[in-house]
Structure 1
Amino acid sequence: MAEVQHLPAQVSAQDYMTNLMVDADDEDDVRLHLSALCGDAKGMQRTLQDPATAEWLNHRVRPYLSPPLRLAVTGGNQECVQLLVAAGANIELEDVKGQTPLFVATSQRKPIIMKTLLEVGANPEGSKKNRCSPLLVAVRDGFTEGVRLLLRHGADPEPFEQICTCVPGWPLHHAVVYAHFPCFLELVRGGAITNLSSLTNQICSKIVARLSIPHAILKYAKERPEFVSLYHESGGNLWQLNAGGITGSEESTENSPAKERLKALLGTPLSLKSQCRIAIRRLLGRHRLAHLASLDVPSCLTSFLNYDEFSQYLQKPRKEKVVQDHNSEE
């Protein structure tokens, strides 16, 4: 791709943008958009020195109604993102699909840009105009670092509206459906509630039954018994009934590693040690869990509180499975 500052004199910014599948009117000043898309930080810096460009800082161009910041994220240029943020670009301005710059950075797995946007106050939930959220996208794609970043900056692992409408759903359930154990572990470490029945005052029993984790494990992650173990250790209900009123072990007729683990644990009460872990984490509160390592306690205790014994499963290879999610929108 040609650098912006080396464009032939006879080629206008509008013509060049059109060639890049970005459409602008002749009277539009798209120098910022062009620099953002091409990752030309020096050109952008010069353009920002022109007071006339201020009115185009949040201007959205067709066909995706993308402002410069959205294009800079797409181009993956951290310096351009920083320049636009420093200049006062709207960090929540959506494109035509309701995707915020943070949503785009998450879907394109760009943690450095995500961190930049989150640190200047980007909403970790994305926009209400898009039915999906950055957290759900990160979980769906197995983007564990993105999940961790979003949770540490306040993303809600129990989005009430998405859970109640099942569109697109519950992040913890998504992690099972797409068999991403590292994301499942990261959600638990971040304070995700493993038992939706504890929210029955907010979420009806039919939704709780529909989003049963044990049933999802035996359907989508039957070769990964560690899902069952972690779910049990974090206070999950292995006896959860589905909409038909039966448990996961009763519904599944196929023998699998996950089912064998579930059957073994059904008659095993949670140990006092594990119950203490749940109680301490609850007492600390979700917003303090990211700082466990800084506690003035033995490292073995912080490791236990962080479920580090499950880290052994993070590198375990898994069979790739394509799961279509018609409810999610990017």
Structure 2
Amino acid sequence: MRKILSEPESLQWINHRVRPYLAPPLRLAVSGGSVECAKVLIEAGADIELEDVKGQTPLFVATSTRKTELMKVLLESGANPEGSKKNRCSPLLVAVRDGFSEGVKLLLKYGADPEPFDQILTCVPGWPLQHAIVYAHFSCFLELVKGGCVANLRDLPYEVNSSIVSRLSIPHAILKYARDYPEFVILYHEIGGNLWQLNNKGLSPLEEFPESSPAKQSITSLLGSTRSLKSICRHKIRQQFHRRNLDKLTSLDLPSCLIPYLSFEEFTKYSKRTEENTHTKVVKKEE
């Protein structure tokens, strides 16, 4: 490929969409999983943001096919972590939907927005934090929290209509889609989430879902309690660092036992359990 691209007349085709996918060469290299071909094409000047006919950028494709190394190559080369405006979905939402927590972590590291303005204001496709609950991927939920996502849409720097806040209620989503996993409730409460959020019908989560479940029991117990001083301090310290600087927490001159706490490492043990149970349910459904 290097030899072909060394010929001037070949470069005119470097961003040409070809069959069978009507996609440019870089997109095809990503689909085929070829890291070296992708690097050669990028070095030769391939458009890193050029979409296929579906509006999918090379990074979007790498994310949806769980090709972590290709994601790193593209992101390090300057790929937009948000994907293309021509596709209403984003690489981050795809990673969350598919339970690709490593991809979520990588995208957040390179600046993906966990509260995408257009997707939240239109509810299409939605809010990554809520998506993690809808698909019961606690590992992705945890990575979003570690990455500095907000717990309440009213905390965003722009105004979100109250009907949208109600529609995207996290506690309602937990009781509807992840009722067997109280860890969602516990972590959401730890980051200052509003467990008494009313939905668009004016109902609290306990009123909307009266049936008993592990998650509901957790909400009930937490509604009557306050967050610990340690928990509040963690929240305030992380706020001071802001989203872009959270990776610097590990360099703080603090007792070694506090660094994992600031990064919510005590919740990591739940990730494997949730993913295993979700996989079991999928297998049973297919059978």
Match of residue 105 from structure 1: 62
| Structure 1 unpaired stretches of 5+ | 1-43, 323-330
Residue 118 (1) aligns with residue 75 (2): yes
Q: Which residue of 96, 102, 107 maps to 1:145?
A: 102
* Residue 117 of structure 1: how far off its partner (Å): 0.4
**CA distance in structure 2 between the aligned counterparts of 1:290 and 1:174, rounded to whole angstroms:** 24
Match of residue 250 from structure 2: 293
Moved more, 239-248 or 97-106: 239-248
Q: Is the 8 A contact 1:102 1:117 kept in 2?
A: yes
SS of residue paired to 2:89: coil
Identity of aligned residues (%): 65
* Residue 297 of structure 1: how far off its partner (Å): 2.2
1:35-87 Cα distance to aligned partner (Å, 9 max, x none): xxxxxxxxx12211222111111111135321110000000010001101111
* Residue 280 of structure 1: how far off its partner (Å): 0.7
TM, length-normalised to structure 2: 0.94
Q: Is the 8 A contact 2:42 2:48 kept in 1?
A: yes
**CA distance in structure 1 between the aligned counterparts of 2:14 and 2:163, rounded to whole angstroms:** 47
Partner amino acid for 2:89?
Answer: C
**Equivalence map 1:248-287=2 (5 Å):** 248-287=205-244
Q: Is the 8 A contact 1:293 1:299 kept in 2?
A: no
Q: Which residue of 194, 198, 203 maps to 1:246?
A: 203
Residue 319 (1) aligns with residue 278 (2): yes
Residue 50 (1) aligns with residue 11 (2): no
Aligned length: 279
Partner amino acid for 1:265?
Answer: L
Moved more, 102-111 or 247-256: 247-256
Partner amino acid for 1:161?
Answer: D
Q: Is the 8 A contact 2:82 2:91 kept in 1?
A: yes
- After the TM superposition, which parts of structure 1 deviate over 4 Å for at least 4 consecutive aligned residues? none
Higher Rg of the two aligned structures: 1
| Structure 2 unpaired stretches of 5+ | 283-287
1:193-241 Cα distance to aligned partner (Å, 9 max, x none): 1111223852111000000000000010000000000000011000111
Q: Which residue of 131, 138, 155 maps to 1:198?
A: 155
* Residue 249 of structure 1: how far off its partner (Å): 1.2
**CA distance in structure 2 between the aligned counterparts of 1:305 and 1:101, rounded to whole angstroms:** 34
Moved more, 45-54 or 114-123: 45-54
SS of residue paired to 1:232: helix
Residue 209 (1) aligns with residue 166 (2): yes
SS of residue paired to 1:314: helix
TM, length-normalised to structure 1: 0.82
**CA distance in structure 2 between the aligned counterparts of 1:319 and 1:115, rounded to whole angstroms:** 28
State the superposition RMSD in angstroms. 1.2
* Residue 295 of structure 1: how far off its partner (Å): 2.6
Q: Which residue of 174, 179, 186 maps to 2:131?
A: 174
